[in-house]
Structure 1
């Protein structure tokens, strides 16, 4: 049994430092790099690609809404053409930093509100999948397990990776509990690790309602800006090793 371990990184910008990228990178297999709209900037993008290469970590683009103040976690009313162009713009920028550094861009994972809208809205999901395919049909599209975004990627002919979250709770329909609700995030490391092991080895997760639902786990996400990100990543690696789960890159 095997699974990828990803983290959202490159979220600092200017003089503002966010996350523990240098400490986390040696412990993960895939990095989702912010592309300057919700977080990050050109200098941070270049540095994150370089650090990922040094650590043998696959690089993916993490495009989001142009909302620095809201960290890309607020919905925006944009046309499908605007969403398509926004994704192409951000992924294209990161791809050039990858090309310059001799790194092959591996995947695309939408960020925050864009991600959440894509898992619920078929038109937005198809638009993102189309943008990714037009950039490079060999890219993986990463999306919430059993969501419309995964369906759209498959329909477009892309390789897809079903994502599960170590530090988030689930609704009974498989959606993530809104961050606006109390208890949406998991702060206790033991609870997070137990959830990860269940999702990877059993293909199920306990929803916030108490119901056990089915889930697919190709890649596990730990949020890089989380207070316990480094602790969670270390514990996940250790516990998965104990249950004979190998942590490998997407496609590895």
Structure 2
């Protein structure tokens, strides 16, 4: 099965003098940029500059909100209530949207980051809280979520909240049998070998099976493919992946 799949990357994750990724070289290669909103990375000037960079290349801007966890890069679970999660997501959307409005554009979607992203797979109340933030902020604002082996739960919750979903798969992460991401603490959870990343990406783009972390076949249907910006192989992989996707 061939279908048009978009390419996205987590970006704008530098903070002060600390630099993460090479956004200037990666931005021309992608369709969607998930921009940090200050809670796990980014500062106001980084946000402003990354919005301008995305606009220069016609890349859709997504908010990448997280738990308030700068020290842990948003990858640690925090025990926030659903009401807190709705508020902290709204807060971050507003911060990034300010720079979008000043530049003459608006947010195209929302993709939670790190631990918050993973918690949505397991917690209906937190998923509903993020959906509420999206629909409260702007009706029709899509939420990007993990493409699983079975996404009926996500579709039902989003339909109730009247929020469109974008299903995302990862080129450089290993998967469990149900389509959840293998925890980063596990050996082999992150792919570093460029050819393996490309092979997995193209299998997903074609709707074909690929190997999960145990070597068993897994098939996912996704709208967008992510390559992490903090993977040292990202730029070289993005160049090759862009060329292969454009050739489909």
TM-score (norm 1): 0.93
1:1-252 correspondence to structure 2 within 5 Å: 1-146=3-148, 147=151, 148-149=153-154, 151-242=156-247, 244=248
Take 1:121 and 1:99, find their aligned partners in 2: how far apart are those partners?
33
Greater strand share, structure number: 1
Find the residue that maps to 1:178 and give its secondary structure: coil
Structure 2 segments unaligned to the other structure (5+ residues): none
Find the residue that maps to 1:105 and give its secondary structure: coil
Take 2:29 and 2:188, find their aligned partners in 1: how far apart are those partners?
27
User: How many equivalent residue pairs?
Assistant: 243
Spell out, residue by residue over 1:130-167, the C-alpha distance to the aligned partner (whole angstroms, 9 max, x if none). 11111012212101003555553333222211100010
Q: Structure 1 residues 186-195 or 210-219, which shifts more?
A: 210-219
Aligned to 1:248: none
Find the residue that maps to 1:202 and give its secondary structure: coil
Aligned to 1:249: none
Contact 2:140 2:162 in 1 (8 A): no
Contact 2:109 2:141 in 1 (8 A): yes
Take 2:107 and 2:48, find their aligned partners in 1: how far apart are those partners?
13
The 4+ residue runs of structure 1 with deviation greater than 4 A are 147-151
Structure 1 segments unaligned to the other structure (5+ residues): 245-252
Contact 1:49 1:98 in 2 (8 A): yes
Take 2:92 and 2:207, find their aligned partners in 1: how far apart are those partners?
36
Take 1:49 and 1:141, find their aligned partners in 2: how far apart are those partners?
19
Contact 1:150 1:162 in 2 (8 A): no
| 1:128 CA drift (Å) | 0.5
Spell out, residue by residue over 1:50-73, the C-alpha distance to the aligned partner (whole angstroms, 9 max, x if none). 110011100000001111111000
Contact 1:144 1:150 in 2 (8 A): no
TM-score (norm 2): 0.94
Contact 1:203 1:217 in 2 (8 A): no
Spell out, residue by residue over 1:173-230, the C-alpha distance to the aligned partner (whole angstroms, 9 max, x if none). 1100000111100001100111111111024332112221231110000111111111
